[in-house]
Amino acid sequence: MIHTDNKLYKKLMVQKIFTLCFLFLVSILNQSCINNDLSGKSDFDIVILNGRVMDPESDLDAIRNIGIRDGSVQLITTKEIIGQTSIDAQGLVVAPGFIDIHQHGQDHENYCYKVMDGVTTVLELEMGTADVDAWYSEREGKALINHGVSIGHVPLRMKIMNDPGGFAPVSDAVYKPASDEEIILLQEGIEKGLNQGGLGVGFGLMYTPAASRWEILEMFRVAGKTKAPCVVHLRYGGQKEPGSCIAALEEVISAAAISGAPLHVVHITSLGFSQTPKMLQMISEARTNGLDVTVECYPYTATQTTIESAVYDEGWQESFGITFEDLQWAETGERLNAESFTKYRKSGGMVIAHSIPEDVVRSTIADPMVILASDGILSGGKGHPRGTGTFARVLGKYVREEKLLSLSEGLKKITLMPARRLEEIAPMMKNKGRIREGADADITIFNPELIIDQATYEEPAKYSKGIEYVLVNGVVVVNKGRLQDGGFPGKGVRGIVNDF
Ligand SMILES: [Zn+2]
């Protein structure tokens, strides 16, 4: 009996061990099922949980978790995921980091304000630089956000003609026609800049009125060879013929048609004023007829530039339909008169002009073709509020308060559209302006109920509200609404570099 009992006991033990082994195996398999569901990626550097993820490319607009590793988005899922760091995004919108296709201020001060406005990539394309390599190396390892530059016709003209100006030329580069030799030097400079990875060719034709139409066409021809976009501040603003904004737009649309170069027209409202709808019609028709033309505006009713530049040469009142009182001195906020205008034109500095009708700003922002950008620059806390508040203003004032655009339309104009404009010349832009697996982890997380600009003409140096978290290449640079100290995760966004 005992023997039998022993046998039975052994049999039971074997069964028990077998069952335990079986359960153990099942649990291992279960474990690997979870891993498989996560594509084998159960461990992330950062996870963003329970946010309303909005991707303007796929139109995804749903609650998702995002897993980030090695600076890129690895997984977008409804399942639970775990990371070394986790961000609770409940009640917040998780969007691609905003791309500012028109930003002049390219130093740490400006980058701090941009990132607090949700921007992860800033591009100086209108003025550009005369030395593309030097521009990128000055910022390497020292930039909070991603940055890029074009090769600029204006700075090259200043260099070749020894013009002592700063942001804008003030001497020969403004008033002297280029000789045939100088046009060749300019062309060579542009070609070199594009070969070094410049993101197109910048033009500020209003700042260089002596540059002939032929000179500009010669520059477009260089750009046309590699389909580099020509980014243009037009030759004229306002409606006064023969130098009207319509004639100015005709000049560059025709140069694009002749040369095959793509065209991007900057800040259309601050050149067109009341004529802007006609200019948008011209651009739309050119696109319908097969030309690659894009356009941008900033969401403000005032312009800003240097008072000593050619923009304020004789005739500016008639051209722009404004007078002295419409001008505001950026440094002090004071309104100008004939006397102070003359004084400041001699000393030089930034002047704001209240010259764009609000209904023009609204209809331009609402146009599905128009990209939104800032044209921003802040210097020692002084400047135009567009440099610090543009993006929160789009999403707060024009999306939430005025319902001029839906949230997804607003986001598309500050993420996907600027990325697409540049992805031919800079394939790395294909991984920006979107949230999808494989995209760069440039991500802006904001509160859609609170987001708003705070910057004013009198006090431009004010951070926007409602930007809760910002990641640049997978590094958190804004955390719970506060700028993080240290760390420079920004990378240079460059076109294809050709070493000849
Ligand atoms: Zn401009």
Task: With a cut of 70, say whether residue 435 has pLDDT above it.
Answer: yes
- Take residue 282 and report the two structure tokens written for it: 């011209």
- pLDDT on residue 8: 52
Task: With a cut of 90, say whether residue 153 has pLDDT above it.
Answer: yes
Cα 383 to averaged position of ligand 1 atoms, centre (Å): 14
Residue 97 contacts residue 120 (beta carbons within 8 Å): yes
Cα angle for residues 236, 176, 279 (degrees, 5° grid):
15
- Compare 32 and 344 and report the one with higher pLDDT: 344
- pLDDT on residue 6: 54
Residues 309 and 325: their CA atoms lie apart, in Å, by: 19
- pLDDT on residue 456: 95
- pLDDT on residue 42: 53
Residues 298 and 352: their CA atoms lie apart, in Å, by: 14
- pLDDT on residue 19: 53
Cα 394 to averaged position of ligand 1 atoms, centre (Å): 20
- 348 Rama sector, left if φ>0, alpha if ψ -120 to 50, beta otherwise: left
User: What percent of the chain has a predicted confidence (pLDDT) above 90?
Assistant: 87
Cα 245 to averaged position of ligand 1 atoms, centre (Å): 13
- Taking residues 172-192, what's their average pLDDT? 98
Residue pLDDT, tens place only, 117-136: 999 999 999 999 999 999 99
- pLDDT on residue 498: 86
Cα 203 to averaged position of ligand 1 atoms, centre (Å): 9
Cα 459 to averaged position of ligand 1 atoms, centre (Å): 22
Q: Which residues pair with 82 in a beta bridge?
A: 43
Cα 385 to averaged position of ligand 1 atoms, centre (Å): 15
- pLDDT on residue 499: 72
Among 22-26, 120-124, 140-144, 493-497, which stretch is predicted with the lowest mean pLDDT? 22-26
- pLDDT on residue 31: 38
Cα 419 to averaged position of ligand 1 atoms, centre (Å): 20
Task: With a cut of 70, say whether residue 472 has pLDDT above it.
Answer: yes
3-state secondary structure the chain: CHHHHHHHHHHHHHHHHHHHHHHHHHHHHHHHHHHHHCCCCCEEEEEEEEEEEEECCCCEEEEEEEEEECCEEEEEECCCCEEEEEEECCCCEEEECEEECCECCCCHHHHHHHHHCCEEEEEEEEEEECCHHHHHHHHCCCCCCEEEEEEEHHHHHHHHCCCCCCCCCCCHHHHCCCCHHHHHHHHHHHHHHHHCCCCCEEEEHHHCCCCCHHHHHHHHHHHHHHCCCEEEECCCCCCCCCCCHHHHHHHHHHHHHHHCCCEEECCCHHHHHHHHHHHHHHHHHHHHCCCCEEEEECCCCEEEEECCCHHHCCCHHHHHCCCHHHEEECCCCCECCHHHHHHHHHHCCEEEEECCCHHHHHHHHHCCCEEECCCECEECCEECCHHHHHHHHHHHHHHHHCCCCCHHHHHHHHCHHHHHHHCCCCHHHHHCCCCCCCCECCEEEECCCCCECCCCCCCCCCCCECEEEEEECCEEEEECCEECCCCCCCCECCCCCCCC
Cα 91 to averaged position of ligand 1 atoms, centre (Å): 38
Cα 416 to averaged position of ligand 1 atoms, centre (Å): 22
Cα 386 to averaged position of ligand 1 atoms, centre (Å): 13
Residues 376 and 470: their CA atoms lie apart, in Å, by: 20
* Count of residues in the chain: 500
- pLDDT on residue 30: 38
Residue pLDDT, tens place only, 55-89: 999 999 999 999 999 999 999 999 999 999 999 99
Residue 485's pLDDT band, with cuts at 50, 70 and 90, is confident
Cα 223 to averaged position of ligand 1 atoms, centre (Å): 20
Residues 382 and 302: their CA atoms lie apart, in Å, by: 15
- Take residue 187 and report the two structure tokens written for it: 């062309």
- Measured on CA atoms in the order 3, 5, 6, 10, is the torsion positive or negative? positive
Residue 236 contacts residue 300 (beta carbons within 8 Å): no
Cα 226 to averaged position of ligand 1 atoms, centre (Å): 24
pTM for the predicted model, two decimal places? 0.90
- 386 Rama sector, left if φ>0, alpha if ψ -120 to 50, beta otherwise: alpha
Residues 449 and 125: their CA atoms lie apart, in Å, by: 33
Residue 36's pLDDT band, with cuts at 50, 70 and 90, is very low
- pLDDT on residue 12: 55
Task: With a cut of 80, say whether residue 187 has pLDDT above it.
Answer: yes
Q: What angle do helix axes 358-366 and 276-288 make, rounded to 10 degrees?
A: 20
- Distant-in-sequence, close-in-space partners of 91: CB < 8 Å, separation ≥ 6: 447
Cα 230 to averaged position of ligand 1 atoms, centre (Å): 13
- Take residue 166 and report the two structure tokens written for it: 């700063």
- Tell me what the pLDDT averaged over the chain comes to: 92
Cα 35 to averaged position of ligand 1 atoms, centre (Å): 52
Residues 333 and 336: their CA atoms lie apart, in Å, by: 9
- Taking residues 94-102, what's their average pLDDT? 98
Residues 202 and 101: their CA atoms lie apart, in Å, by: 12
Q: Which residues pair with 53 in a beta bridge?
A: 62, 94
Cα 207 to averaged position of ligand 1 atoms, centre (Å): 9
Residues 28 and 8: their CA atoms lie apart, in Å, by: 30
Cα 265 to averaged position of ligand 1 atoms, centre (Å): 9
Cα 299 to averaged position of ligand 1 atoms, centre (Å): 14
- Take residue 262 and report the two structure tokens written for it: 């793509």
Cα 266 to averaged position of ligand 1 atoms, centre (Å): 6
Cα 70 to averaged position of ligand 1 atoms, centre (Å): 37
Residue pLDDT, tens place only, 227-272: 999 999 999 999 889 999 999 999 999 999 999 999 999 999 999 9
Cα 378 to averaged position of ligand 1 atoms, centre (Å): 15
Residue 96 contacts residue 441 (beta carbons within 8 Å): no
Cα 14 to averaged position of ligand 1 atoms, centre (Å): 83
- What does R_g of the chain's alpha carbons equal in angstroms? 27
- pLDDT on residue 39: 46
Cα 217 to averaged position of ligand 1 atoms, centre (Å): 19
Cα 270 to averaged position of ligand 1 atoms, centre (Å): 8
Residue 238 contacts residue 319 (beta carbons within 8 Å): yes
- pLDDT on residue 500: 60
Cα 418 to averaged position of ligand 1 atoms, centre (Å): 17
Residue pLDDT, tens place only, 278-296: 999 999 999 999 999 999 9
- pLDDT on residue 167: 87
- Taking residues 148-154, what's their average pLDDT? 98
Cα 267 to averaged position of ligand 1 atoms, centre (Å): 7
Task: With a cut of 60, say whether residue 454 has pLDDT above it.
Answer: yes
Cα 204 to averaged position of ligand 1 atoms, centre (Å): 6
- Distant-in-sequence, close-in-space partners of 151: CB < 8 Å, separation ≥ 6: 128, 129, 130, 132, 189, 190, 192, 193, 194, 196, 198, 200, 201, 202
Q: Which residues pair with 63 in a beta bridge?
A: 52
Cα 102 to averaged position of ligand 1 atoms, centre (Å): 9
Residue 32's pLDDT band, with cuts at 50, 70 and 90, is very low
Cα 272 to averaged position of ligand 1 atoms, centre (Å): 12
Cα 126 to averaged position of ligand 1 atoms, centre (Å): 7
- pLDDT on residue 463: 98
Cα 479 to averaged position of ligand 1 atoms, centre (Å): 33
- Taking residues 390-398, what's their average pLDDT? 98
Residue 474 contacts residue 68 (beta carbons within 8 Å): yes
Cα 351 to averaged position of ligand 1 atoms, centre (Å): 13
Residues 231 and 384: their CA atoms lie apart, in Å, by: 21
Residue type, 257: A
Cα 143 to averaged position of ligand 1 atoms, centre (Å): 24
Cα 494 to averaged position of ligand 1 atoms, centre (Å): 22
Cα 56 to averaged position of ligand 1 atoms, centre (Å): 28
